Amino acid sequence: MDYYQAWFDLKSGVKDTDFARDLARYMSYLSEKKLIEGWKLARRKLGLGPAEFGEYHLVMETKNMAQLEEAFQHVSSRAEPVESVHFGVNAKVQNIRFGLYRDFPDPGRREGEEKF
């Protein structure tokens, strides 16, 4: 499983529950299209965490890089209906940072033959 992650803050004036509903709509759209396997939104608790990570953390799960690329291609088309659901989220966030992680150890990992 690959984990495409985003750390961010909401723009001033954006209501947190409105954002959560819009994000759920967008993630449901991607899930229904089989472009992601799952997702989770978390919010910093008790102010704990590096400030540069932002208050919110989104994790989107994909089977592999091919599925993630398919999601990117679909969203980057900027065509309806994905454009509206993406805009409903993208327009509300700032200070966004992204990361890509994978399950470890890798399922095909072999030991004993490594050169480094």
Whether pLDDT at 116 is above 90:
no
Q: At 43, which amino acid appears?
A: R
Map the chain to HEC letters: CEEEEEEEEECCCCCHHHHHHHHHHHHHHHHHCCCCCEEEEEECCCCCCCHHHCCEEEEEEECCHHHHHHHHHHHHCCCCCHHHHHHHHHCCEEEEEEEEEECCCCCCCCCCCCCC
How confident is the model over 10-15, as a mean pLDDT?
A: 98
Quote the CA–CA distance of 43 and 83 in Å, as a whole number: 25
What CA–CA distance (Å, rounded) separates 7 from 65?
20
State the pLDDT at residue 115: 87
Q: What is the mean pLDDT of residues 46-53?
A: 91
Kindly indicate the confidence band of residue 9, based on its pLDDT and cuts at 50, 70 and 90.
very high
pLDDT for res 110: 86
Greater model confidence, 113 or 87: 87
The encoded tokens of residue 38 equal 């799952």
For the stretch 51-110, pLDDT in tens is 899 999 999 999 999 999 999 999 999 999 999 999 999 999 999 999 999 999 988 888
Delineate the domains of the chain, giving CATH numbers in brackets. 2-46+54-102 (3.30.70.100)
Residue 60 pLDDT: 98
